[in-house]
Amino acid sequence: MENREVADGLVSIIMPSWNTERFIAETIQSVINQTYTNWELLIVDDCSSDNTDEVVASFKDERIKYFHNEKNSGAALTRNKAMREAKGEWIAFLDSDDLWTPEKLEHQIDFMKKNGYTLSFTEYEKIDEESNPLNIYVSGPEKVNKRKMYNYDYIGQLTMMYSAKEFGLIQIKDIKKNNDYAIRLQLYKKPGTCAYLLKENLAKYRVRKVSISHDKFRRKFKSHYDLFHMCDEKPAAVAVWYTCWNMFYGLLKKRNYEKSR
């Protein structure tokens, strides 16, 4: 973690993009609609072959900053690039097909400032490719300490926010899957780190028909093992242990924290 100067009150929103012309306009608009207006949106495109460039260019807002990778690099390195460009006191994440409600930033920053928190997340709901609600509501534990974070990744990437003053610059290794989880494991390397849940539904996660989150068990097991062994540098046996715990607690999360309306 590298300390750096940041702009007080500014939220840097990290958004990787790749071939999401169908969704990214709605996503960007959900940022523009925020009641908290002191933000910068850092979009890094990973060599899209569709019309993402044209869609992003149609937004004439100086708070939107658009970058391109020189070669296709994957989500981990793309997020790394955006985080290096970030100038904000607060770091938030929004993938280019997900959405925020208008009060997301305002309510979350108020929650963190009021309680002195440096890492937080919120509840969210799932939507389909046409932005229709799937009537699935996702919550989580009120407090996620290091033990809970290693048991399972309870924090939705699209809801997470952390203090750049507290954690500095975060960079992760080049892993193809679970790179959002890898960001959180980096945050938890700082002693005493805890994430706190704001019990409000402030985001919408889009479930797409073609998604790496729909991998078969074997691939999911390997991706978690790679996360703990290669990225988090745990010994092989420890990585297997954490991977098994993740599979178990993943089932508990669905039972305890995913509710149908």
Average pLDDT, the chain: 92
Output the pLDDT for position 252: 80
CATH number of 7-212: 3.90.550.10
In the chain, domain spans: 7-212
Confidence band of 137 (pLDDT split at 50, 70, 90)? very high
Output the pLDDT for position 1: 61
Q: If residue 120 lies in a helix (H) or strand (E), which one and from where to where?
A: strand 119-127
Most trustworthy range by pLDDT among 188-197, 218-227, 244-253: 188-197
Three-class SS state of 226: helix
Output the pLDDT for position 248: 84
Output the pLDDT for position 22: 95
Between residues 98 and 210, the one the model is more confident about: 98
Is residue 26 scored above 90 in pLDDT? Answer: yes
The candidate with the shortest Cα–Cα distance to 190, out of 222, 149, 231, 151, is 149
Q: Which of 6-15, 49-58, 213-222 has the lowest mean pLDDT?
A: 213-222
Output the pLDDT for position 226: 86
Is residue 168 scored above 80 in pLDDT? Answer: yes
Q: Which of 33-47, 122-136, 180-194, 238-252 has the lowest mean pLDDT?
A: 238-252
Output the pLDDT for position 221: 85
Our CA dihedral for 80, 82, 88, 94, rounded to 10 degrees, sits at -100
Max alpha carbon distance in the chain (Å)?
51
CA separation for the pair 71, 133 (Å, rounded)? 35
Is residue 214 scored above 70 in pLDDT? Answer: no
